[in-house]
A and B are shown apart, each in its own frame.
Chain A
């Protein structure tokens, strides 16, 4: 699915990613944990193609293609989805419009016809119900005045409708209370399938209680310093990140 080799990136003159390598197979859920400033969010942004980051070395191959060579929209159309840590508010355009525009852009890329209005609305309504959101939510401006929990659920709604192959969740648990976290986790778990992979970037182990990862990586100072099974997350929870930082500098 995704093969990252020795990826290095910087913002302006500051090197943030200093050689990351990662293999994600179809159906796998990878958690990337690390202290603030370790480069977690940078990694997800670089994978999604946000400008402002300069890739200075390494490669990223996604489904056999050079991911770094694609524009952000091409990555999305090829099945890469980034759930934002801070989803953007776009008053003046409704949620349903964005969903329709995004889905049709992806369908067009695949050579499919525009989604039929008769099929679209029932599909969206079913998804929205499972995320415990009100239908009126569809007709509000994109993320406009949404609570933190609503914004995150909206990201999961978009993900459910766009059906990506690789989902990158950037700090999806931040700012969520336990009930909202459960809803979001249920939404993600419902999307798990043998041909869909997840990369979950998170500071806390809490999210991993609800979405069980196959592999946990610890990122510190721009490098993966440790990888292991779900038990690694518990270890971090007990010991904190201090011992990792020491290990990274040693």
Chain B
């Protein structure tokens, strides 16, 4: 799932450098979700997951980028987004994916909650180098 882009133009890259950028990321994902024809509930789930992951990249990763675009596989269309940061990485992924566990002051729902809200979820992290999370929500 490193390069999920199969439809249309290359994905746009959006910075996540300050909290105001989260509003922009949510708008970008909303537009893609509507273009893809996701149901209202699925749009809401995807935008919410994107908001959680973008905030993680900002707060825990010290900022990063979001790449987002439309994808297609097995005759289905979907929206994919990759959240990357070059922060400290996650030393214990199992722990980080547990509901309620947080290394900061959050609720500990960001990663585990975001995973439940999307169809595909892939996390790769290297301690000291950064974290990348790829998500896809498919149209039904």
The answer on A and B forming one complex is no
Interface residues of A (CB under 8 A from B): none
Q: Which residues of B contact A (CB under 8 A)?
A: none
